[in-house]
Amino acid sequence: MELLAYILVDGLIYGAWLFIVSLGLTLVFGILNILNMAHGSLYAIGAYAAASAVGAYFALGGEAFPFGSYAAMVIGAIFVALILGPLLEYGLLRHFYGRDHVILVLVTYGVFLILEDAMKLIWGVTPLFVSEPYSLLGNVEFGPLYYVTYDFLVIAVAILVGLGVWFVLNRTKRGKVVLAVIHDREMSKTMGVNVDRVFLISFTLGVFLAALGGALTAPMISVSPSIGVNVIILAFAVVIIGGLGSIEGAAIGALFVGIARAASVHLLPEAELFVIYLVMAIVLVFRPEGLFQKTQARKI
């Protein structure tokens, strides 16, 4: 029982984190049809920006009201999104739309390489620590289980952000316009949609979500240049399991992976390395296009 509770809570916490990290990826893929390899770097930059922002906050006398550091984290992420979103979408990606899928993947791979070194140039290799926000909320205890409250904050944020994005996309006119753009850019233009703006905003939102993921993680880790590399493959897996471009899918996929991983760490630690690929392979065997696969449009 206790074990089960551990697995569920651990899985949920990890899944929530994964979900935030994957959401931006699935969004950008869904709308712009770009599999953004630089997503992990954006995550890392978000972590750096948040760490810097929190550091600055405390340096400027934030001790008096430490909870303000949460705002600092979010502002850091917004900052990253507002700078890098337009810069990358407008300055770079836009010139490659209409080229082959893999070319765009490669372009973002190039961006990934550049950003990795850019981070080193900006922040150096010495890691940043801002663990204050992590312990600020204290701990929670349910019986034998003992967690840091911050972990549950991450869950809450994941739920909020996920619902928010889902609602905008599926329940608002703007969201439906985005659906039209996803399917047919040219046609949407002729129906009066400013497609360029939709792309710019969506990509910036994607960057924001990546950066937010990093910002939320920053207090738990030592922020150093390589933290983005592993994130990307995890996020890919989650997005694939869920079905590309599907927000619900990413949520379920993240939960799947989170719980599978927790179960393996507690029960069969040797298998941890395989778990994510195994989950992915199994899901794809039964649902070749992910859990929330899109119904194919009629061709004939």
Partner 1 sequence: ETFKVGIVTFLSGGAAESFGIPAWNGGELLINLLNQGGVLPPPYDQPGFGGMMIEAIPVDESGGATKQVQEFRNLVQRENVDAVLGYVSSGDCLAIPPVADELKAFTILYDCGTPRVFEEGSYEYVFRTAAHAAMDNISLARYMESRGIEANTIAGINQDYAWGQDSWADFVASMSVLVPDAEVETALFPKIFAGQYGTEISALIRVNADVVHSSLWGGDLQAFVLQAGPRGLFERSQVALAAGDHVMPQLGNKMPDGVIIGARGMNGLAARANASPLTNLLWEAYEEEYGVFPVQAPFRMWQGILGLKVAVETAMAANGGNKPTAEELAAAMTGQEWEAPSGLIQMVLGNGHQAIQPNAIGTTKWDDATGQMTLVDIEYYSATCVNPPAGVKAIDWIHDGFPGAVCD
Partner 2 sequence: MTEFIFPRSIPLACALALAVLVVVGLILPDWAMFLATMAFSKGMVALGVVCLMRSGLVSFGQGLYYCIGAYASGLMATWIGISDIFLMSLLGIIASGIVAVIFGPLLATYRGIFFAMLTLSLSMILYGTLSKMSVLGGTDGLNVSAPTFLGYHPEGRALGLSLYMFTCAVIVVYGGLVRTLFDSERGLISLAIRDNELRVEYLGTSVRTEIAVTYIVAAIAGGIGGVISGAAIGHVDPEYAYWTTSGEFVFVAILSGYFSIPAVFLGSVVLEIVRSFSNLYFPNTWQMSLGIFLLIVILLFPKGLGSLLSRSKKPEKKQ
Partner 3 sequence: MILSIEDIEVSIQSTPILHDLSLNIEEGEIVGLVGRNGAGKTTTMRTIMGLTKPTSGKVKVNGIDITRFESYQRAALGLGYMPEDRRLVPELTVEENMLLPCWANSELVPAAGLKFIYDLMPELFAMRERKAMLLSGGQQKMVALGRALMAGTKLLLLDEPFEGVAPALAQRITEVIVTLKDEKRSALIAQSELTHSVSLLDREYTIERGEIISNTTPGN
Instruction: Measure CA of the first residue to CA of the last residue in the chain; give whole Å.
Output: 54
User: Three-state DSSP class for 222?
Assistant: coil
Position among 4, 171, 277, 294 found at the interface with partner 2 (CB under 8 A):
277
Nearest to 195 by CA among 180, 205, 208: 180
Give pairs for 257-260: CB < 8 Å, separation 24+: 257/14, 257/15, 257/18, 258/10, 258/11, 258/12, 258/13, 258/14, 258/15, 258/16, 258/17, 258/18, 259/7, 259/8, 259/11, 259/12, 259/15, 260/11
User: Which residues lie across from 146 on neighbouring strands?
Assistant: 141
Indicate the residue among 179 and 278 with the shorter CB distance to partner 3: 179
User: What is the smallest separation between the CB atom of 66 and partner 1, expressed in angstroms?
Assistant: 15
Site residues (CB under 8 A) for partner 2, limited to 175-194: 185-186
Among the residue ranges 24-32, 128-136, 201-209, 289-297, the one whose residues contact partner 3 (CB under 8 A): 289-297
Binding partner selected for residue 107 from partner 3, partner 2, partner 1, none, CB under the kind-specific 5 to 8 Å limit? partner 2
Q: Is 98 in the site for partner 3 (CB under 8 A)?
A: no
Indicate the residue among 170 and 230 with the shorter CB distance to partner 1: 230
Q: Is 159 in the site for partner 2 (CB under 8 A)?
A: no
Indicate the residue among 172 and 230 with the shorter CB distance to partner 1: 230
Q: Is 156 in the site for partner 2 (CB under 8 A)?
A: no
Alpha helices in 60-194 (DSSP H): 68-91, 101-123, 132-136, 149-171, 173-183, 185-190
- Tokens describing residue 96: 């490659």
Position among 203, 236, 256, 292 found at the interface with partner 2 (CB under 8 A):
236
Which residues of this chain interact with partner 1, rule CB under 8 A? 2-3, 6, 9-11, 13-14, 17, 116-117, 120, 125-127, 129, 131, 134-135, 139, 144-148, 151, 217, 219-222, 224-227, 229-230, 261-262, 265-266, 269-270, 272-273
To the nearest 10°, the Cα dihedral for 227, 257, 205, 163? -140
Binding partner selected for residue 177 from partner 1, partner 2, partner 3, none, CB under the kind-specific 5 to 8 Å limit? partner 3
* CB-CB contact of 68 with 202 (8 Å): no
User: What is the smallest separation between the CB atom of 47 and partner 2, expressed in angstroms?
Assistant: 18
Binding positions for partner 3, rule: CB under 8 A: 173-174, 176-177, 179-180, 183-184, 186-196, 294-298
